[in-house]
Each structure stands twice: as structure tokens, then as C-alpha cells.
Amino acid sequence: MAAKKAAHVHRNTEKPRGILKDHPETASQIVDCLKGMRLAGQQIDNSIIRTTIQGVIALGGPELFDRVVGKDKDGQLVKFNVSKTFAKAFAQRHLGWTWRRTTGAARKLPED
């Protein structure tokens, strides 16, 4: 099962899809940057992933932020932005990362 998932993750990193399909170098820069941060021991959450994606796109393909991706409920055109959902899906698809629930020290009272 693990080999099947690893093959699936590898296959998805080769060909970006969606908004980044025409910018594979930007997608690989995002992946490299996130992997580098993780290898350095930094804790990575969704907000860090979002800002990293925004920064790399701003440097490598700022025209992506001008791309119209749909319409809102009022019929106004909606331009691309890096949402929480997009960042989470990118990390899952390209890096194979999943989210874990955080724990808090204050939740567990020490025994007397």
C-alpha cells in the first residue's frame, strides 16, 4: 500500500495540474522550497505553505494572480488567489503531506 501511495505522489510531482500546469518550474520551486524548510527542521503549517506559494508565484509567475478562475455568486469575476484549500491540496498532491491534529500541553493536567 505504501509503495502504491509513493508511486501516486511521484506521478503527481512530475506534472503539475490546474493553475500551475503551464508553469511546472514554478511548481517545482515551491516543492523545493517547502522541502528545504522541512529538512531544516522548521515546523510547517498551512499558513507557511500559503505564504511560500504566494511568494514563489509572485517571483516566478505573477501573471497567475491576474488569471480569472470563475465567478462569485453575484456574477463578478474571481481571480486566482492562494486559499487555504489550495495550499492544503498542493501539499497533499505534490509532497504527500497530511495534517495532524495539534496537541496542547494545557489540555493534560499533570498528576499531583
Summarize the confidence of residues 83-100 as an average pLDDT.
Answer: 90
Question: Contact 89/95 with Cβ under 8 angstroms?
Answer: no
The DSSP symbol for 34 reads H
At 29-81, the pLDDT tens digits run 999 999 999 999 888 889 999 999 999 999 988 888 888 888 888 889 988 89
The phi, psi pair for 68, rounded to 5°, reads -85, 125
Q: What's the pTM?
A: 0.73
Question: Contact 49/34 with Cβ under 8 angstroms?
Answer: yes
Question: Contact 30/91 with Cβ under 8 angstroms?
Answer: no
Of how many residues is the chain composed? 112
